[in-house]
A and B are shown apart, each in its own frame.
Chain A
Amino acid sequence: MIIAERKPIDELKGFIAEAKKVLVVGCRGCVTVCNAGGTKEVGLLASLLRLDCEKEGRQVQVDEHTLERQCDPEYIDELLELVEKKYDAILSMACSVGPQFIAARYPDQNVFPSLNTLFIGGALKHGAWAERCQGCGNCVIHRFGGLCPIARCAKSLQNGPCGGSAGGICEISKDVECVWHLITTKMMETGRAETDFVPVQPMKDWSSSRDGGPRTIIREDLVK
């Protein structure tokens, strides 16, 4: 899923500094699962903003609404009734796709991103998430024992490890495991180092990644 976290409250306060009516919009997709922008987080942010405005002596109405998803136009349409109430600011608590879709659908609205979208990843445990994919567009993890060197190596090395790997730890931080240490260890432990492990990986074609520009998929069996 897409992992995101809420922006610092000071930055959000800046977004609504001049506003009298604010709408906080959540998303029941990825950001609900990673506890960043679901119904609960919408409630917390709206409450914090209401309290802060009261503290500043400002009369500001902060409303809350959560959509099924903010990355689908059919759900963005649901906001029409609310948008007609003329909000001075709409704070989207989705990944950055959400505020873009809302801004595109309602061009006269002031839409602000309330989250910082961080990465594609998964939960290590409750409350902890880690990056596992960079969306390179051509998955090759089967070559590396199910571990992704593109997402998990600081240099995205296809042929590692580099000289910055020491004791299984990456030189960038003592908290970051060297994925190439994990890959080689796993390959040796499972007896696949000699048979399945291609010693030198061919050059990767990055045109399927961001290097090829913004990507679009059109499914002919689905598109109308």
Chain B
Amino acid sequence: MTRLSPARIALYVVCALVLVYLILPVLIIAPISFSSARFLTFPPPSFSLRWYLQYFASPAWMQATRVTLTLALLTVLIATPLGVAAAYAISQSKLRIMRIIHLALLLPLVVPIIIIAVGIFFIYARVGLVATMPGLVLANVMLGLPYVVISVLAGLQSFDPAQEMVARSLGMNRLRSFFAVTLPQIKSSVIAGGVFAFISAMDETIVALFISGGQYQPLTKRMFTALRDEIDPTIAAISTLMTAASFMLVLLASARQRRNS
């Protein structure tokens, strides 16, 4: 195993290069965001918080941040219960149609987002949901659902439904036995699903480009528009904050999962 053949060394080198390629873009943004330079220079001339100050002082960016946070939170609050209920039914029911329903719930992962975005735009334009908060939330609930369903289904796979039967035979009704017996055991996969849905809503760009507008534009839409015009280091500051937020959420979720298992 430890004998190093030339092929093995080549493998190590190739893998190291690929991993650098994967990580580099994630790591490059933070130094840019703390640079004092107006234009991109590397290494940064001196440390500065000016791009963060610029971000926090800008009413437009702050409004977009509020929209993103509200949107992501509402998406989780709606997508999680819907996804849990659906995953529970799919795993418990023997109905044949459930297989088709299961596949239907994964459609947001199969259909190219650009098609979903344009289609929703046309529908929203008819019913007056373009540039509204409910419209944004609804679209993101749909996009987040598969993550909740996949995560909770995986959690339910290791759960023995007989336990719930026991609780019911002892006189609990179905709803109470679900909350008292089933839910605590699949809690970490429910939380993981919710975290995925939150991050998906926070990062979602393409649908927002088509259906959001006016005062209800999330961060990603404003960032996209700004990126098309010029590279403003304020975006590096925002990107760093967004990345830190998602990493923290993922770490929290996975720490929970490890503690439970």
Do the two chains bind? no
